[in-house]
Amino acid sequence: MKRVRVKIFGRVQGVGFRFFVYRNAKNLGLKGWVRNLTDGTVEALFEGEDEKIKEILELCKKGPPLAKVKRVEVREEEVKNEFNDFEILF
């Protein structure tokens, strides 16, 4: 099990990025959340199997068709098993 906090930079708001992350995280069986930040970035917290985390990180580097991802920062954290599902925070 692994837990990572991710910050995605570029044109990532107003392009369906949160829903893209949500749908893919759910499909991969990950737990956590995704949200827009006021600085124009998207932040996500993922918990799950190492291989599934690798997959979602690769997807975050691409994003949905209208997104232009410039950079993805990943910070590993201690697994807390505090989530039951994956959700979009507003």
- The CATH number of the domain where 54 resides is what? 3.30.70.100
Q: Is residue 78 part of a domain?
A: no
Given the structure tokens 């994956």, which residue do they identify? 86
pLDDT tens readout for residues 42-53: 999 999 999 999
Domain count along the chain? 1
Q: What is the average per-residue pLDDT within 51-73?
A: 98
Segment (H or E) for 24: helix 17-28
Active site (catalytic) residues = 18, 36
Q: Is residue 19 part of a domain?
A: yes
- Rounded Cα distance between 32 and 87, Å, is 6
Q: Is residue 47 part of a domain?
A: yes
User: Positive or negative CA dihedral for 44, 46, 52, 53?
Assistant: positive
| Model-wide pTM > 0.75 | yes
